[in-house]
Structure 1
Amino acid sequence: MRLHVDQRHERVLALVRERGSLRVADLANELGVSAVTLRRDVETLAAQGRVQRLHGAVVWPGDTAAEERPRPVSAEGTVIGMIVPTTNYIFADIVRGAREAVGAQGVRLVLGMTGYVDSEDAVQAEHLVAGGAEGLLVAPSWFGGVPVDGQEKWLLDCPVPAVLVERSAPAGNPAAGLDRVRTDRAHGAAVAVGHFASLGHRRITAVLQEGPHAAQISSGFLAAVTSLGLDIDAGAPSVREHGDYEASIDYLVEAVERRGVTAALVHSDEDAIVLVPKLQARGIAVPGDLALIAYDDEVAGLADVPLTAIAPPKRSVGELAAGLLLQRLAERAGGQRPAPRQHLELLPELRVRSSCGGTPTES
């Protein structure tokens, strides 16, 4: 039978008086109400001085020992939300990694998707928290991968802990103080340039998508070219900038035939797979005339000419982000002082196949 609010308050008081302290999530489960409803009850009772709210737990007033002693905390039964723009491409494995990490702790992962519509980020967050999510893993729909014009405000106002996934905020932005886990895509681009250099290529280019990862990839590419003393052929159009691939094909053909370019980094491998036969139809052989490395390694190994690729550690990104969020929830529930916030960057790896020439190390 559903309890009246006054009855619910009395039941909360009886349980907290009996046990000294309880996690908000555990109390909500025991009373059969949503976490949002229970939080409102606790806030009301705390405002009346009848209980104390402490880092995700409810404490009986005056129980200083309960405040000070560490409490054993179990994550089992906890719900966390994950907001991603899509479950395609890199996010499929990131979601799998997060789901496996929380599932091993008896935690349920609930997914919200935004379709790269930035106004949906806050909508999905509100929905997940209202449904009982005690923390959020968030890959916001920030077009450049960082917030602009206050896009981070909803995240800072979020009532539960949040960890950014494959996104960041620049120094000085309030969201820079959030935990985050992402791939170091600049390092990946530099690894690709280093591989080209090891094969003797001296004039190279990059053909990249616009989007959240373009700035990182471009900065790593340019830094490595400078460091290694290579020549760069600038001015490549963004992949599919005009709704098709013809601008990229025209650019690459002219770069190879007239300007001595012998190698190209292409993001993503889907685009690289489209470009290779179009280049061959224009008389540019891969890897004979143009060595090519794809970025992301979703399907690069399945190309007709298997593509050497930079592979982000997608599953590990999800696992580590989920583990970090679970740590924050445990700190809150146990009344512990939070550990320092973390910015984790994972290094991608090079998977060598046929599109660069040389000897492939992976099929």
Structure 2
Amino acid sequence: MRLHVDQRHERVLELVRERGSLRVAELASELGVSAVTLRRDVEALAAQGRVQRLHGAVVWPGGQASEAPVPAPAAEGAVIGMIVPTTNFIFADIVRGARETVEAQGGRLVLGMSGYVDTEDPVQAEHLLAGGAEGLLIAPSWFGGVPADGQEKWLLECPVPAVLVERTAPAGNPAAALDRVRTDRAHGAAVAVGHFAKLGHRAVAAVLQEGPHAAQITAGYLAATESLGLTPVPGSPAIRGHGEYDETVQYLVDAVRERGVTAALVHSDEDAIVLVPRLQERGVNVPSDLAIIAYDDEVAGLSDVPLTAVAPPKRAVGELAAKLMLQRLAERASGGTPAPRQHLELLPELQVRASCGAGEVSDN
């Protein structure tokens, strides 16, 4: 028979009094309720001072109980909030990696979405915190990938640990002191340019989609073309808004016919797939006239001409961000000195397909 909330509270108190402390997951199982319901019960009892709540465990106040077992790890029963601008594109795998990691440790990931509206980030955070989130994994809707005009202020005032995901903050900005996990997109761009160079291309253009990752990809592209002694291409990288295909096609056609360009890095996959048939309509064939490497490797392999692509380690980003958060929660639970903050950068790999020619060599 299902217990009334008051009966359930009395049973919780009885069990905790007898055993000193219990894991939330064990207590929920014994009472036949969900972990979410049990956490609400514990929060209510803790607010009344009748029990103490630790991460993943319930303890009798003052430790006046017999044989209190060692509390569970912080991950057990932890609720972690995650805010992303969308669950499309790279974020689908990032969220999946974070969710699987949290659930494998007995916790729960709760998702909020900002829709690329920066003012929505704190609204989503407030909602998640009100629902019991003990930490936040967040990819803020910072248009350039870094905070501007004080966009980071609310995050610095957040009362729980926060880990930036696929975002950064420049040195000197207070948000630079936050933990963060991201892809080294500059490295990915450099790998792409290096692959072109190995294939004999000397003039390599770049067309990038404006947004959070454009600055990193630009930096890698420019550094690689300079260090490899490639021919500078006027106007590259060209930064375009999503859907500005006519201008992009014209830029690449002119680059091929007037500047001797034989290869191009295109971000993103979707843009590259749209561009290939449009270029062919203008007499520029892929890969015979123009070799292409796409960036993101979401759907690059599904193109009519399968596209060689830079593949960020998306799922691994989510996994490591979640592990870092679980570490921070464990540190809080133990009351010990926290480890130094971490800035983790993961390296993309190149997935070689047909869009640079049949004689492509793998860099992996």
Question: Scaled by the length of structure 2, what TM-score is found?
Answer: 0.83
Taking only aligned residues, the RMSD between alpha carbons, in angstroms, comes to 3.3
Aligned equivalent of 2:230: 230
* CA deviation map 1:245-300 (0-9, x unaligned): 11111111111101111111000010000001111110111111111100000000
Aligned equivalent of 2:66: none
Give the deviation of 1:144 after TM superposition. 0.3
- CA distance in 2 between partners of 1:97 and 1:146 (Å): 23
Give the deviation of 1:177 after TM superposition. 0.7
Higher relative contact order (CA closer than 8 Å, sequence separation 6+): 1
Q: Which amino acid aligns with 2:162?
A: A
Tell me if the contact between 1:167 and 1:182 (Cα under 8 Å) persists in the aligned partners.
yes
Tell me if the contact between 2:101 and 2:319 (Cα under 8 Å) persists in the aligned partners.
yes
Say if 2:174 is the partner of 1:174.
Answer: yes
Q: Which amino acid aligns with 2:338?
A: P
**For residues 280 and 167 of structure 1, do their structure 2 counterparts lie closer, same or farther at Cα, with a shift above 3 Å needed?**
same
SS at match of 1:232: coil
Aligned equivalent of 2:82: 82
Q: Which amino acid aligns with 1:239?
A: R
- CA distance in 1 between partners of 2:157 and 2:57 (Å): 20
Tell me if the contact between 2:210 and 2:241 (Cα under 8 Å) persists in the aligned partners.
no
- CA distance in 2 between partners of 1:213 and 1:346 (Å): 14
- CA distance in 1 between partners of 2:314 and 2:339 (Å): 25
- CA distance in 1 between partners of 2:37 and 2:107 (Å): 18
Equivalent residues in 2 for 1:158-237, closer than 5 Å: 158-236=158-236, 237=238
Tell me if the contact between 2:74 and 2:326 (Cα under 8 Å) persists in the aligned partners.
no
* CA deviation map 1:158-192 (0-9, x unaligned): 11111110001111111111111000000000000
Tell me if the contact between 1:351 and 1:361 (Cα under 8 Å) persists in the aligned partners.
no
Tell me if the contact between 2:165 and 2:317 (Cα under 8 Å) persists in the aligned partners.
yes
Say if 2:245 is the partner of 1:245.
Answer: yes
**For residues 207 and 182 of structure 1, do their structure 2 counterparts lie closer, same or farther at Cα, with a shift above 3 Å needed?**
same
- CA distance in 2 between partners of 1:169 and 1:302 (Å): 35
Give the deviation of 1:75 after TM superposition. 2.0
SS at match of 1:164: strand
Equivalent residues in 2 for 1:74-113, closer than 5 Å: 74-113=74-113
Alignment length, in residue pairs? 346
Q: Which amino acid aligns with 2:110?
A: V
Aligned equivalent of 1:277: 277
SS at match of 2:169: coil
Give the deviation of 1:76 after TM superposition. 2.2
Equivalent residues in 2 for 1:1-363, closer than 5 Å: 72-236=72-236, 237-240=238-241, 243-359=243-359
SS at match of 2:310: strand
- CA distance in 1 between partners of 2:74 and 2:216 (Å): 38
Q: Which amino acid aligns with 1:232?
A: P
Percentage identity across paired residues of the two chains: 74
Tell me if the contact between 2:57 and 2:71 (Cα under 8 Å) persists in the aligned partners.
no
Tell me if the contact between 1:253 and 1:279 (Cα under 8 Å) persists in the aligned partners.
yes
SS at match of 1:128: helix
**For residues 95 and 51 of structure 1, do their structure 2 counterparts lie closer, same or farther at Cα, with a shift above 3 Å needed?**
closer
Give the deviation of 1:43 after TM superposition. 8.4
- CA distance in 2 between partners of 1:51 and 1:77 (Å): 17
Tell me if the contact between 1:52 and 1:58 (Cα under 8 Å) persists in the aligned partners.
yes
Give the deviation of 1:12 after TM superposition. 11
Q: Which amino acid aligns with 2:116?
A: Y
Tell me if the contact between 1:23 and 1:333 (Cα under 8 Å) persists in the aligned partners.
no
Task: Mark the runs of 5 or more structure 1 residues left unpaired by the alignment.
Answer: 64-69
- CA distance in 2 between partners of 1:361 and 1:197 (Å): 11
Question: Scaled by the length of structure 1, what TM-score is found?
Answer: 0.84
Give the deviation of 1:232 after TM superposition. 2.1
Give the deviation of 1:72 after TM superposition. 4.7
**For residues 59 and 84 of structure 1, do their structure 2 counterparts lie closer, same or farther at Cα, with a shift above 3 Å needed?**
same
Give the deviation of 1:239 after TM superposition. 3.0
